[in-house]
């Protein structure tokens, strides 16, 4: 989330390069829109099973298995999943939630962290939201390890996620 001060101030050299499209990482991320590996029936099954789960224990077990399978298919290092029962990290302004974080990936630790509870009410997050977050964070891992990118949210990044979901499509995603 960008602050009003940053929006109104002149862009830095880094932001100018990115805005003008001169940043190599940004260009490379945008240029890669598909994944160069197929999806196994096992990955499809695990994704479907994850869509039917709600308990932290089931999500941990199935999520780890899906991450392992994706890593094998993509030829990347395994990343581990840590699920927290804490409420999602969020910020409020004037009593309203203006930002929430479902999960994050830490390249140095090779861990994906996902909060299993909603920001305000503390309810278990919906299975599709959990799976979407897991795939989103795994894509950061894939970008970092396989593509050598400083993984950022570019249109190419979202195209790669869309491609992954499409390949898992027979699982009903």
pLDDT of residue 115: 87
Residue spans of the domains in the chain: they are 33-171
Q: Dihedral of the CA atoms 68, 106, 16, 163 (nearest 10)?
A: 20
Query: What pLDDT score was predicted for residue 87?
Result: 64
- Quote the pLDDT of residue 22: 46
Residues 6+ apart with CB under 8 A from 118: 87, 88, 124, 125
* Higher-confidence position of 150 and 15: 150
Task: Flag whether pLDDT at 171 surpasses 50.
Answer: no
CA 140 from centroid of its chain's CA atoms: 6
**Range from 32-46, 104-118, 120-134 that averages highest in pLDDT:** 32-46
Mean pLDDT of 14-23: 54
Question: How confident is the model over 120-136, as a mean pLDDT?
Answer: 86
Q: What is the mean pLDDT of the chain?
A: 83
Give the model's pLDDT for residue 24.
87
Give per-residue pLDDT as tens, 89-105: 656 677 775 656 678 89
HSE-up of residue 70 (Cα within 13 Å, Cβ side)? 30
Among candidate residues 81, 70, 29, 20, the one with its CA nearest the CA of residue 47:
70
């Amino acid at each position: 989330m960008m602050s009003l001060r940053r929006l109104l101030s002149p862009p830095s050299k880094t932001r100018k390069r990115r805005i003008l499209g001169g940043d190599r990482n940004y260009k490379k991320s945008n240029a890669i829109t598909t994944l160069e590996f197929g999806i196994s029936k096992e990955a499809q099954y695990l994704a479907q099973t994850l869509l039917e789960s709600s308990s932290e224990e089931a999500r941990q077990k199935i999520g780890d298995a899906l991450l392992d399978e994706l890593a094998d298919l993509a030829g990347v290092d395994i990343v581990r999943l840590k699920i927290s029962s804490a409420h999602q990290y969020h910020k409020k302004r004037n009593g309203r939630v203006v930002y929430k974080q479902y999960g994050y990936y830490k390249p140095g630790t090779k861990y994906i962290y996902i909060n299993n509870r909603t920001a305000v009410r503390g309810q278990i997050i919906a299975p599709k939201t959990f799976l979407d977050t897991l795939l989103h964070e795994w894509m950061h891992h894939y970008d970092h390890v396989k593509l050598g990118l400083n993984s950022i949210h570019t249109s190419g990044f979202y195209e790669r996620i869309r491609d992954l979901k499409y390949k898992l499509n027979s699982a009903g995603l």
